[in-house]
């Protein structure tokens, strides 16, 4: 992609976010997928996975701080459920699609060819990376303003309906807490990975107190864990829909 075109795209995204970067390189890094870096090694580019790691924590704090103040009489359990629903992969991917984040990503040819711009895991990760980049550029408060502007509608909807997307992992945890006399330890273990980097599948076991209860697979580790938890719920006869 030509430099001028790239700069125009990033300028447009900043307008959409109402956030102007002091260090535009951070924005470009947040929008750079590992598949693109792998195909352009000679340019010594940096992909967005470190920013994604940081952005995940910033996102959780931004939402936690907001709902703690907005709902002063809600118990911890309700606040946890609201947060879990709005920071899950499905919700983040939905927000990313609303701002057309996929249009701005630098993807490798293989990832591009297999629909990477619309893949939930890539979009959710890119949004977290974008949040991490904003935090490094202008600090927590201005980043939180953008986060809440993007997520406020979903937060309010969850607070009213109790659910936006089905979070099978949270539902499994709640079910075990209700139905067992002691606190059970849930573990999600990756047992296999298949496919190239741009089209990977992850296979996960759901273990309860070290005993296998379910399996799942998906295009991301998060999705595979959710599917494994869903299978456990089905085996337990829990109605979750």
- The strand ranges marked E within the chain are 186-194, 201-208, 211-218
176, 200 in Cβ contact below 8 A? no
134, 18 in Cβ contact below 8 A? no
Angle (nearest 5°) at CA 199 between 194 and 203: 35
194, 200 in Cβ contact below 8 A? yes
State how far Cα 192 lies from the chain centre: 22
154, 164 in Cβ contact below 8 A? yes
For the chain, the straight-line distance linking the first and the last C-alpha, in angstroms and rounded, comes to: 44
Catalytic residue among 56, 154, 223, 231: 56
56 is catalytic: yes
State how far the Cα of 31 lies from the Cα of 33, in Å rounded to an integer. 6
Catalytic residue among 89, 128, 167, 231: 128
Kindly give the pairing relationship between strand 201-208 and strand 211-218.
antiparallel
Q: Which residues contact 155 (CB under 8 A, 6 or more apart)?
A: 63, 66, 67, 70, 82, 86, 148
State how far the Cα of 28 lies from the Cα of 10, in Å rounded to an integer. 8
State how far the Cα of 58 lies from the Cα of 62, in Å rounded to an integer. 6
Residue positions annotated with a catalytic role? 56, 128
């Amino acid at each position: 992609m030509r430099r001028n075109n790239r700069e125009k795209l990033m300028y447009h995204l900043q307008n959409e976010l109402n956030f102007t970067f002091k260090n535009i390189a951070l924005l470009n890094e947040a929008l750079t997928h590992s598949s693109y870096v792998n195909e352009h090694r000679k340019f010594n580019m940096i992909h967005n996975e470190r920013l994604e790691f940081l952005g995940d924590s910033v996102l959780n704090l931004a939402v936690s701080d907001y709902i703690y103040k907005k709902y002063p009489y809600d118990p911890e359990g309700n606040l946890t459920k609201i947060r879990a629903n709005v920071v899950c992969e499905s919700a983040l991917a939905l927000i990313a699609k609303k701002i057309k984040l996929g249009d701005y990503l630098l993807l490798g040819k293989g990832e591009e060819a297999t629909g990477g711009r619309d893949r939930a895991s890539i979009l959710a990760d890119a949004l977290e990376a974008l949040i991490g980049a904003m935090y490094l550029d202008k600090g927590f408060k201005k980043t939180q303003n953008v986060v809440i502007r993007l997520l406020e509608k979903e937060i309010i909807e969850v607070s009213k309906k109790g659910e936006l997307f089905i979070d099978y992992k949270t539902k499994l945890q709640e079910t075990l807490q209700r139905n067992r006399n002691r606190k059970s330890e849930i573990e999600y273990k990756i047992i296999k990975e298949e496919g190239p980097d741009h089209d990977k599948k992850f296979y996960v076991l759901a273990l309860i107190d070290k005993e296998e209860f379910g399996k799942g697979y998906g295009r991301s580790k998060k999705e595979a864990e959710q599917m494994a938890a869903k299978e456990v719920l089905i085996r337990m006869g829990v109605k979750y829909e």
